[in-house]
Amino acid sequence: MTQPSGVAQAVGGPPFFILACGRSGTTLLRSMLTCHRAIAVPRASHFIIELHEEFGDAPLTDVSRRRSAIERLLEHERVIEFGVPRDDLARRLDALPAPTAADLCRACFEAYAAQQGKARWGDKTTTHGPHTTTLARLFPDALFIHLVRDPRDVALSLVRTEFQRDLLSAAITWRATVAAIERGLSRMTSRRSMRIRYEDLVSDPPRVLTRICDFLGESFDPAMLEYHRQAEALLAPQEKPIHRHLSRPPAKDQLEKWRGELAPEPLRMIETAAGRFLHAFGYERASRGRMTPKVMAGFVRSGGKRWASKTLRRLRRAPIPGRTVIAPRVRRFLDFAHPARLASVFTRPHDDVDPRKHLEEALNWLCRAQDAGSDDGVARSAKIGRRCFDLSYPETTGYIIPTMFDAAKRLGRPEYAARAVRMGRWEIEIQMPSGAVRGGTGRWHPRPAVFNTGQVMLGWNRLFEETGDRVFLDAAIRAANWLGSIQEPDGNWVRGHSAHAAVPAPTYNLRVAWPLAQTGQLCGDDRHVEAARRYARFALTRQKHNGWFDQCCLTDARRPLTHTLVYATRGALEFGLLLNDGAAIAAATRAARAMTDCIRPDGFLPGRLDEHWRPAVRWCCLTGSMQLAIVLWKLYRRETDDRFRNAAQRLTEYVLRRHDIASADPTIRGGLYGSWPIHGGYGSFEVLNWATKFLVDALLEAEADRAGG
């Protein structure tokens, strides 16, 4: 077994990992152990396996790969949360001779422990279960604590907190996780692992904590029993709603909640799914469970999802053919395998193009998408056949805020403005310590993202303008400070990009220059305005004489999406209008005129265009079409060129005929598909919150035109 190459064992003893299925009490145990005078356990880390999967086991002897790994760690949200000064941590990591990815992670944890005045560190990340064997190999001196909770209570909690969609899926997740952990622990010597039950920890904390301390080789510290007095400091804002009980001592009323909440049929289903592990961990059956076709189908579905997820993850890390050719085809096959999605391929356009009806349905969808979760963000999307909403998406929730204010004013509906305020406060709750906004939905592997940060700033800026509440401007200023801190001397941003963006330093960050300049004007700080100018000057050098923007896509810079091309176009236009920058306005107008020439008489706009503005695909990116319609309406009001107005109307009518306002599925009705046909190459088989937002914006622009203002 390979020993760590770059660092010695921590002075206070070997590290330890708390392994468990989610909602099994890991936060309670972490809170207790963190109060020990010698032990530091941060929030779930998520970066160990992520870094290992990218950089492997081998020592990072290549300087560029080592630098890349260190930068990845330094920009990770959880590492930033450690509170260790970035320069100090960077020096510590740079000093390691030929470290492995695991060595770098170890050094981060050791720096965190030292920052807390502790000699020893531990980790509690519930997604580590399937990687138990990997962790044991990467940290050969580590110890492991398996925390088990009654699967019936776990299933209830997973569904209640929306980590799982239904009780059967939750029970199967519990079984798969504990099975993976037990399998990994069985390959170690017994001295390296122990198992405890959540019920025992809650019923008799001193006894169980004494066992844990003996296992770790630490003396018992009574301060662990007073953890609830520090609950406010131990929890992040987004954790507090689902960990309210941590503010009081352990109570037995947290145990066996399933007895009063589970009906006989769900109870039997969960116990059957839990299988032999129920008895193995000391939990008695309360039903005469047996394998049913429904439970069997659940296992097949769950196993298939895990296999597909693992396969896609491996393919994305594979050489170019696997990453760019095979992985998308595997995903495509899985999409078409669903009956509802296969049926949707035959969906045809309809004739109902009443703009007010479509506007109301789209706004209703956005409201349902906000109400679907336990937070105040807007669900990212909904996929055909799932009949449920995705997680809230910080980036797009941010720029939905101005849409809700515009709708409130145009339609006389103040409840939309109230929703916008709730969205903005949620964005502040989850803002990263650095001031950045995370990329993606960010539940498991949050990383700061330049573009996403700019989009949420649009929301905070508008909230400050509408409410006068300084808390929103302060959040935008923190975000602007972060953007400035990672900007290159030439104005570009080469660091801090979303993991979903394969194109380095994309030009659509012009849509970040706009809110950055806006924040600078609102707070009177010329540094932010100048930072926005520097980026705009840099980005406009990437525009060709025909108006096409180079490096302007998420995935394929040679054939960019209209979605990202219009991101850049709108960013240049709004930046130019804000600062009276004629060059930026002219650049936006050039691009818009060129895209207008690509629109067919029926309103179809190809979803990807090459550098000569030729169609690169046969499907339409409905999202990009609505974004372009918004830009054309704005240019029409500026230049009174009927060509812009007519093109905007054609685009809008094309999209309205494909906007589903009749579906019986409330997660689909009123939302806008990413592409047409529905299985096109952007947002396949999905309705997207940002597509729906841009539809609302375009319809509000058209309504303003009809009303004469």
Please indicate, yes or no, whether residues 405 and 514 belong to a single structural domain of this protein: yes
Residue 448: closest CA among 499, 490, 489, 494: 499
pLDDT of residue 477: 98
Neighbouring CB atoms inside 10 A of 694's CB total 30
The amino acid at 482: W
Residue whose C-alpha is closest to residue 381's, from 162, 689, 621, 678: 689
The helix (H) or strand (E) run that includes residue 620 is strand 620-621
Average pLDDT over residues 536-542: 97
Whether residue 258 sits in one domain with residue 174: yes
Collapsing DSSP to helix, strand or coil, 82 comes out as coil
Highest average pLDDT, of 321-325, 370-374, 442-446, 494-498, comes from 370-374
Total number of domains constituting the chain: 3
| pLDDT above 50 (res 117) | yes
Alpha-carbon distance of 364 to 494, in angstroms, equals: 38
| 3-29 burial: b if 16+ Cβ within 10 Å, else e | ebbbbeebebbbbbbbbbbbbbbbbbb
Nearest to 691 by CA among 366, 398, 433, 454: 366
Does 387 reside within a domain? Answer: yes
Q: Say what the pLDDT of residue 50 is.
A: 87
The type of residue at 695 is L
pLDDT at residue number 265: 83
Read off the CATH number of the domain in which 226 is found. Answer: 3.40.50.300
Cis peptide before 677 (omega within 30 of 0): yes
- DSSP 8-class letter at 8: P
State whether 276 and 301 are in the same domain. Answer: no
CA distance 222 to 234: 17
The answer on 399 and 517 residing in a single domain is yes
What percent of the chain has pLDDT above 90?
Answer: 70
Q: Residue 89 domain-assigned?
A: no
Query: Mind giving me the DSSP string for 399-455?
Result: HHHHHHHHHHHHHT-HHHHHHHHHHHHHHHHT--TTS--BSSS-SSS--B-HHHHHH
Q: What is the pLDDT of residue 320?
A: 42
Mean pLDDT, residues 524-547: 98
Q: Does the pLDDT of residue 101 top 60, yes or no?
A: yes
- Residues 523, 634 within the same domain: yes
Q: Could you tell me which of 678, 701, 606, 689 has the C-alpha nearest to residue 355?
A: 701
How confident is the model over 7-27, as pLDDT tens digits?
Answer: 344 457 999 999 999 999 999
Q: What is the pLDDT at residue 161? A: 76
Q: What is the pLDDT of residues 631-670, one digit of tens each?
A: 999 999 999 899 999 999 999 999 999 999 999 899 999 9
* Residue 143 included in any domain: yes
- State the pLDDT at residue 584: 98
Are both 304 and 271 inside the same structural domain? no
Please say if the pLDDT value at position 446 is more than 90: no
Sheet order of strands, 16-19 included = 39-40, 120-124, 16-19, 143-148, 193-197
Residue 298 resides in a domain: yes
Between the two ends of the chain, the Cα-to-Cα distance in Å is 72
Enumerate residues 6+ apart whose C-beta is below 8 A from 660. Answer: 347, 668, 669, 670, 671, 673, 687
- Is 523 contained in some domain? yes
Tokens representing 639 are: 């230049």
* End residue of a domain, out of 261, 283, 305: 283
pLDDT of residue 252: 86
Model confidence pLDDT, tens digit, residues 698-709: 999 999 998 875
Is 479 within a domain? no
| Sign of the Cα pseudo-torsion (379, 381, 387, 391, in order) | negative
Evaluate whether residue 419 is within a structural domain. no
Residues 165 and 253 in one domain: yes
**How many helices (H) and strands (E) in the chain?**
31, 10
Position 179 confidence tier, pLDDT thresholds 50, 70, 90: very high
When pLDDT is cut at 50, 70 and 90, the band that residue 78 belongs to is confident
Res 2 pLDDT > 70: no
Flag whether pLDDT at 579 surpasses 60. Answer: yes
Q: Percentage of residues in the chain with pLDDT exceeding 70? A: 88
Q: In this structure, what DSSP letter does residue 197 have?
A: E
Question: Quick check: 594 pLDDT over 90?
Answer: yes
Per-residue model confidence (pLDDT) at position 260: 92
Residues 297 and 385 in one domain: no
542: DSSP letter: T
User: What are the tens digits of pLDDT across the range 486-508?
Assistant: 999 999 999 877 766 666 789 99
Decide which of 242, 258, 283 is a domain's last residue. 283
Outline where DSSP puts E strands in 150-244: 193-197
Q: Which helix (H) or strand (E) holds 49?
A: helix 47-55
Q: Is residue 293 over pLDDT 90?
A: no
Taking residues 555-566, report their average pLDDT.
Answer: 95
Tell me the per-residue pLDDT of 237-276, one tens digit each, with 9 for 90 and over: 667 677 888 889 998 888 999 999 998 888 988 998 888 9
**How far is residue 693's CA from residue 416's CA, in Å, rounded to a whole number?**
13
Same domain flag for 132 and 275: yes
Answer whether 146's CB lies under 8 Å from 16's CB. Answer: no
Q: Per-residue pLDDT tens for 621-635?
A: 999 999 999 999 999
Q: Do 12 and 118 touch, CB atoms closer than 8 A? A: yes
Residue 181 to residue 280: CA distance in whole angstroms:
14
The rounded mean pLDDT for the chain is 89
Instruction: Assign residue 610 the CATH number of its domain.
Output: 1.50.10.10
* Cα dist from 575 to 457, 505, 553, 709, whole Å: 14, 19, 20, 22
> Cα–Cα distance between 406 and 610 in angstroms, integer?
34
Closest by Cα among 331, 324, 379 to 679 = 331
403 or 160: whose pLDDT is higher?
403
In the structure encoding, which two tokens stand for residue 490, read together? Answer: 């030439």
Would you state the pLDDT for residue 565? 98
pLDDT of residue 8: 40
pLDDT at position 9: 43
Compute the distance between CA of residue 188 and CA of residue 545 in angstroms, rounded to an integer.
Answer: 64
Angle at 467 between CA 410 and CA 484, to 5 degrees: 105
Query: For 290-413, where are the alpha helices, taking DSSP H only?
Result: 293-316, 320-321, 327-336, 339-344, 355-371, 394-411
Instruction: Give the pLDDT score at 7.
Output: 39
Among 69-83, 257-271, 376-390, 405-419, which is the least confidently predicted range?
69-83
Please state, in angstroms and rounded to a whole number, the distance separating the CA atoms of residues 178 and 280.
11
Q: Provide the token pair at 270.
A: 């969960």
Q: Are residues 331 and 360 in the same domain?
A: no
Query: Span 591-611, mean pLDDT?
Result: 98
Amino acid making up residue 694:
F
Q: How confident is the model at residue 4 (pLDDT cuts 50, 70, 90)?
A: very low
229 in the same domain as 164: yes
Q: Which residue, 283, 301, 318, sits at the end of a domain?
A: 283
Between these two residues, 308 and 74, which has the higher pLDDT value?
A: 74
pLDDT for 325? 47
Among 112, 148, 127, which residue's Cα sits nearest to residue 47?
127
Chain-centre distance for alpha carbon 164: 16
pLDDT band at 402 (very low <50, low <70, confident <90, very high): very high
Residues 324 and 385 placed together within one structural domain of the fold: no
Yes or no: say if 18 and 128 are a contact pair by the CB < 8 Å rule.
no
Q: Rounded to 5, what percent of the chain is helix, strand, coil? A: 60, 5, 35
For 301, the token pair is: 């579905």
Residue 62 CB coordination number (10 Å): 11
| Beta carbons within 10 angstroms of residue 490's beta carbon | 11
Cα angle, residue 82 at apex, residues 77 and 84 outer, rounded to 5°: 115
Pairing between β-strand 143-148 and β-strand 16-19 as defined by DSSP bridges: parallel
CB 568 within 8 A of CB 539: yes
445 pLDDT higher than 70: no
Rounded average pLDDT over 149-158: 95
Query: Is the pLDDT higher at 612 or at 172?
Result: 612
499/199: higher pLDDT: 199
Both tokens assigned to 248: 């009081």
Can you tell me the distance from the alpha carbon of 239 to that of 82, in angstroms, rounded to the nearest whole number? Answer: 16
Which of 266, 273, 270, 309 has its CA nearest to residue 176? 273
Q: Would the pLDDT of 427 be above 50?
A: yes
Task: Residue 401: give the domain boundaries.
Answer: 355-409+499-706
Q: How far apart are CA 614 and CA 630, in angstroms?
A: 22
Burial class (CB in 10 A: 0-12, 13-18, 19+), 116: middle
Give the C-alpha distances (Å, rounded to integers) separating 161 from 237, 243, 377, 461. 15, 11, 15, 31
Cα 697 to Cα 627: distance, rounded to the nearest angstrom: 8
- Whether 684 maps to a domain, the answer reads yes
Tens-place pLDDT, residues 306-364? 565 565 555 545 544 444 445 555 555 555 556 666 666 667 899 999 999 999 999 99
Q: Rounded distance, CA 554 to CA 681, Å?
A: 12
